[in-house]
Amino acid sequence: MSRLTRTCLRVPRPKSLFGLISLQTGTELISLALVFNKVTGFYGILAILTGFQLSALQLSTYIYSLAVLVALIFLLPHIRKQSPFEALALAWLYAADTVINAAYTIAFGISWYSVNSVSATPEADKVDAGARSNTLPRAFSAAEDTAMSIVFISFATLIRVYFTFVVMSFARQVIQRYLHLLVLDAHVLDDQNGPFALDLPDGQGRRGQIGRFMISICRRYWLAVSEGEEWSGNGHSRKASSSATLAGEV
């Protein structure tokens, strides 16, 4: 078993959001929160049109946020439709955004620290002892603010990671339900491509190619059914049949 496969099998699989809200409703709420977060990209572009000067880092952030916003507007309606392709695309979009958002946060933090460190450093020959003593309280205050910011950012990042697992679990649930319907319709499941097999509607054309690529990453996470796991579909719940388990898996 490869290291990637073992890692995928250890990915958490929440059954609900905070143990209170269903995966579907939780995914809707999480996606709406991300929409509000990415609206800043729209206002950033408006700021450019008004002649406001932005750094390259700020500009790239606004453009990226706008691109994610457009993708979310397209994907959001499919949460309730439980479309396998869109649910999987949303899961990967949210996971990628979590990583990219963390990278941007680190980049902005480094940029802010560099600017403030330079502006707060007095020239030794122009600062007397009294002035140096006055800078100590400000230095301690800045250090305290920095520590609080790090704690807040770390907590927010942990929440984002948890939300990522929720959205991924919802996508996995959608795929598993779709596979269950195929079993009920006496289809022979493709143990490699699942909903994106060439003989299925979601497996056709460019959509199918993208779907097969997305599901190929951590394939067992999306397709394999654990022993004792249940599929739910059309208001009914029943045990997954052994024929729906990936060939060669135990």
* pLDDT of 71 higher than 70: yes
pLDDT at 183: 75
- Please compute the mean of the pLDDT values over residues 36-64 and round it to a whole number: 79
* pLDDT of 123 higher than 80: no
pLDDT digit string, tens, across residues 194-225: 888 888 888 888 998 999 999 988 888 888 77
Residue 79: exposure state from Cβ atoms within 10 A (0-12, 13-18, ≥19)? buried
- Please compute the mean of the pLDDT values over residues 37-65 and round it to a whole number: 79
* pLDDT of 119 higher than 60: no
Task: Give me the residues paired with residue 21 across strands.
Answer: 17
Query: CA distances (Å), 32 to each of 4, 26, 94, 96, in order?
Result: 31, 10, 12, 17
pLDDT digit string, tens, across residues 168-186: 999 999 998 888 887 777 5
The span from the CA of 145 to the CA of 157, in Å, is 18
The residues spanned by each domain of the chain are: 12-117+150-223
